[in-house]
Structure 1
Amino acid sequence: MAMTRPKTSLRGVQDIKTHSGRVSPLSEPYRAFMRISCLEMEKARKGKERDSALHRVGLIEQRFREIEAEEAELVAVYGHVTQTAAARQRSAQPQGEASSRGATDKAPIFKVRY
């Protein structure tokens, strides 16, 4: 009589037991150092971004000052033109309409047309 071998289940790669995922973070200090280095690099990048943004804000503020200075210069030079134009407008208006403006008669009219 022939003896039959007992059936054994075939094992595959899924049946191999490993220790992955069971390692404590204390036994792998290189991971902490890698994370620290990544954080330092990000900090350096963000610092450069901040410096660049502050530089751009400074340039914008400088341009605002230049615009305001030029505007003040033009108003100083051509302010008498707008005042005389405002006086002409007031004299051309009927009396009832001029009195409805009230306190704004004292301020010169400066309109920018585009």
Structure 2
Amino acid sequence: MTMSAHGRPLRGLADLRTLTGRSDTQIPAHKAYLRISFLELEKARRMQEIRTANDRFAVVNARFREIDAEIADILASLNGTAPRAHALEAPHRSAVGLRPVKRQFQISY
């Protein structure tokens, strides 16, 4: 039997004590405040996204109003002078591309 120089048995990796398996139900204060600050930052980013989306929505609505005003101006300038619609006639069938069939399909050797 060999003894170590210090008189204690040697310990290996399996003998190290860690906090790995331990679960605390209470979050340490510094972790709680850090989590709160992360959530506040995410909230600020989302609010910025909402403001940006609202600005884009306002721009699109303004363009719709401009389009409606332009359409109203064009219709007002016509003042009932728009050309009347005419009835369409059947299109004339052209003989271009039509070949009369002279004989049946034949294969010659």
TM-score by length of 1: 0.60
Number of aligned residues: 83
Give the structure with higher Rg (CA). Answer: 2
Tell me whether 1:5 sits opposite 2:36 in the alignment.
no
How far the C-alpha of 1:11 sits from its partner, in A, is 4.3
Tell me whether 1:47 sits opposite 2:44 in the alignment.
no
How far the C-alpha of 1:28 sits from its partner, in A, is 1.1
Q: Does 1 or 2 have the higher relative contact order (CA < 8 Å, sep 6+)?
A: 1
- Structure ranking higher in helix proportion: 1
Gap regions ≥5 residues in structure 1: 95-114
Aligned ranges 1:72-111 → 2 under 5 Å: 72-82=72-82, 85-86=83-84, 89=86, 93=87
Distance 2:23 2:29 in 1: 11
Are residues 27 and 52 of structure 1, via their aligned partners in 2, closer, same or farther at CA, if it must alter by over 3 Å? Answer: closer
C-alpha RMSD of matched pairs (Å): 2.6
TM-score by length of 2: 0.62
Percent identity (aligned): 35
1:29-66 deviations in Å (ceiling 9; x for gaps) = 11111111000000000001100100110010011000
Distance 1:41 1:17 in 2: 37
Distance 1:23 1:35 in 2: 18
After TM superposition, the structure 1 stretch with the greater mean CA deviation from structure 2, 66-75 or 11-20, is 11-20
